[in-house]
Structure formats: structure tokens, C-alpha cells
Amino acid sequence: MYKFPKNFLWGAASSATQTEGAADEGGKAKNIWDYWFEIEPERFHQGIGPQETSDFYKQYKEDIERMKAINFNSFRTSISWTRLLPDGKHINQEAVRFYNDVINELLKNDIEPIINLYHFDMPLHFQEQGGWENREVVEAFRYYAEVVFDLFGDRVKKWTTFNEPIVPVEMGYLNHYHYPCVVDMKRAVVVAYQSMLASAKVIETYRQMDQEGEIGIILNLTPSYPRSDSKEDKRAATIADLFFNRSFLDPSVLGKYPEELVALLREHDLLPEIEEGDLELIADNTVDFLGVNYYQPRRVKEKETPVDAGSILPENFFDPYIWPERRMNPYRGWEIYEKGIYDIAMNIKNNYENIPWYVAENGMGVENEERFIDNSGMIQDDYRIEFYQEHLKWLHQGIEEGSNCFGYHVWTFMDNWSWLNAYKNRYGFYRVDIETKQRFLKKSGQWFAEIVKQNGF
């Protein structure tokens, strides 16, 4: 039997923008997703934007009962910056009531809340001032965090500063998949650096407030595997790891940037402006714990295709490699490689001081899941059960070998809105009818309830 440690956290993750809905209600101001949908709705799958999403804003009590019904002992969501501080300064009391109710309801049901502060949802008015490129926005984020800690810190004892901070960098400043749709590596590096500064400032503020809890960050780690043992392929994998993993992992946990990354950025004139005190701030404010989102590995080989001499992007340094033995989730286009979670566990143990960590997201998105509904109306998602089970086996091995993992959260509790993909791929333990907003338990939800009950399988 695969038995997990005592008090292991079992649950799921979500975010405010992806589940709350009520984007125009309760005094909430616009974030970049509200605005982008307003000006380019055709970019969103089936023209579905963030206004409705899964209606958690109105159904949170029933949803928390559903979590309890499948034995969750923990749940992570985020606070909407634009709901709590619509103008960035003044507190919206309607939002305070909502988040107080959600936190109290979770605790009443013995579900530990893990609250995240930033999940891709920059307030529009701050984006218009440059977003993370502007140091005044970094300070505004610190103020928002201070307000959040003051309001809810008496009950919430696990906080995270950011969810996947590399994603807005990669998707919004190296690609066109997040607003503001810029492609400029120099600006991307500034956004990454100042996001890291924002995280450190928030950690410093939290500790100054002495609230007797813990604060961490959630990173999506994609283990980088080279095509071969050749020097060139291994160098390609090292660079991919530096850009997409270690750019946040090292400063968050070790308090400093990898020297190889700094040298690489300097060589290509990409270093951001570093002000006096920045590096000390990062060094002095590392995280108490790490959340790791794991979906897929990254496989690379040496650069073999021509490079555009007129521009610089991470892909100038390596090419993607298709492993002949790979298994794919055809709906999402991602490789399924369960052992990656073990490799992450060992990497954290051996290279990151064996810091306490948990799997903050792991999941399988599937399109047109309704075709798997049986006569009773339940989706028979055996593929998802197998996906979770195989990952949990490798995670268990990592824990047995000494990695300090304290929990496993899936993505996600119920089907939710997923940025440009909207409801294209479904992930939840509960199916959501997007017309009626009704929820229906899937087979994987039943399975998960048993896993939690036995603390293993």
C-alpha cells in the first residue's frame, strides 16, 4: 500500500478569476482579463470570458460542502486584488465580507485554507502604469498584501505570494497568450525580476507583522531533460532550466540568482536595473515552503534550427525535442511523464535544502468530457484516476527517499474557466454545466474521497 505521512494535505487549487465569476459585481474593478475580453472576445474559446466562470462567488457555501463530501482537508484559492482594493488604495467591504465568509466556512468544515495573493490577475489601472515593469506597482502589491494579512491573517496560516510567476513573463512578454501580448525578452526579464522583488517585499512585510503563520510561493517546475548526453544537448537543458525553473526557484529558496543565469543575461545585455538593497531584500526573505505545480516535462536538444539574428528569445538557445517514447495527453498537447514528480522531489531534497514543499497542482485536462457520461449521469474519468495514481506512486517514492513533501493538491476541485481556453479542457472532480452552473460529481471525485480517507491507496 502507498501510505502517506500523517497530517498529509489533500485537496485542490483554484483561483479567484477562474472561479468566482461576478466580475462586474460586488464593487470589483477590472483586471487585465476583464479588459482583454472586452476588447478581443474572439480570442477566448467559444467567446466565453471571465464574467461568469463557475459562480463560486454565489455558490461558495455549497461548494465547500462538496469539498467536505469528498474529504478535502485543505483548499487553495486566491484573493482578487481588484475585488478587495478596486482603486488599489481603499478597502471594498463587500469583498471583505465575501473572503471572510469563504475562510470561515472552510475552517468550519475542517478544511485548511491556503491563500494565494497573485494569480495572473493584474489590476487594469496598474497595468496601464506598466504592471510589473513599474516599481510603484511592486510597492502597491506590498500594500495590498499588508491589507490582506491584516484582515485575514488571524485565521489563514499558509500564504503564498505568487502562483506560477514565470507564466505572465512567458505568456505575456515572450508570447501573445496573456495580456499585454508583448514579445520582448529585455522587458520580460524586468517583469520576472520585479515579480521576484515583489514576492520578497511581501514576505518581509508578513514577517514584520508577526502573524505566526508560514509564507511560500508556488512555482510550475518543468524538469528539463536533454536529448542525449552530448555536451551540447546538456547545455541546452541547463539553459532551459535556468530560464524557466531556476529564475524563480533559486532566489525564492536560496536567496540568490544562479551565477550562470546572471552571466548569460549579462552576455546578451539583458540584465535588469538592480537598485541598492534589492539583492539583500531577496537574500533576507526566502520562503518557508514551496508549492510546486507539475504537469509536464520539458525536453530539449541543442539549437539546430536557424536563429533570427534580429531578436533574442529563450528559444534561441535550444530546440524542443520529441522523445520517441513519450505518451501524450492529446487534448492538452502535453506529455504525461509521471516520474517527473519524483525527479522534482529529489531535486528539492538534494539542491534546495530539502525545504518543506507540496504538490500545489497536478491534473489532466480533457476536452468533450460529456462523451464519458454513463447512464447515471456520472463522467467515468478512469483516465484521470490513472493519471493521479501513477503520479502519486512516484511522489510516494520521493517521500520514502526523504523528500519533505507535505501534501498533494490537484487542479482542480470543479471544472473552471482557464484563460484563453475558457472551458475547453475540463479538469475538475465535479463537472460544471456552464449554462445552469450545476455541479455533478465525477468518478475521480469518488476515488479521491477514498484516497483521502485511507491517506493512501
In this structure, what are the phi and psi dihedrals at residue 456, rounded to the nearest 5 degrees? Answer: 155, -165
- Catalytic-labelled residue, pool 133, 335, 361, 369: 361
Bridge partners, residue 78, by sequence:
116
In the beta sheet, which residues pair with residue 291? 218, 358
Is 361 a catalytic site residue? Answer: yes
CA quadruple 33, 139, 169, 333: dihedral, nearest 10 = -50
Catalytic member of 20, 105, 112, 164: 164
- At 133 the pLDDT is 98
Q: What pLDDT is recorded for position 241?
A: 98
pLDDT given for residue 184 in this prediction: 96
For residue 311, the model assigns a pLDDT of 85
Q: Is the separation of the CB atoms in 291 and 312 below 8 Å?
A: no
* Bond preceding residue 180 cis, omega within 30 of 0: yes
Say how many Å lie between the first and final Cα of the chain, rounded.
6
| Distances 377 to 121, 369, 430 between C-alpha atoms, Å | 35, 12, 12
Amino acid at 391: H
Q: Is residue 353 annotated as part of the catalytic site, yes or no?
A: no
Asked if residue 439 lies in contact with residue 56, where contact means CB atoms within 8 angstroms, the answer is: no
Residues with Cβ within 8 Å of 180's Cβ and at least 6 positions away in sequence, in order, are 32, 127, 131, 172, 173
Q: How far apart are CA 80 and CA 279, in angstroms?
A: 29
Could you tell me the three cell numbers for 146?
Answer: 499588508
User: Rounded to whole angstroms, how far apart are CA atoms 281 and 418?
Assistant: 34
Rounded distance between C-alpha atoms, residue 151 and residue 159, angstroms: 13
Q: What is the pLDDT of residue 395?
A: 98
Nearest to 16 by CA among 50, 44, 41: 50
CA separation for the pair 12, 360 (Å, rounded) = 8
| Count of beta carbons in the 10 Å neighbourhood of residue 389 | 14
Q: What is the pLDDT of residues 136-176, one digit of tens each?
A: 999 999 999 999 999 999 999 999 999 999 999 999 999 99
- What is the mean pLDDT for each group of 10 consecutive residues in the chain (457 residues)? 97 98 97 98 96 94 98 98 98 98 98 98 98 98 98 98 98 96 97 98 98 97 98 98 98 98 97 98 98 97 89 94 93 91 98 98 96 96 97 98 98 96 96 96 98 98
pTM: 0.97
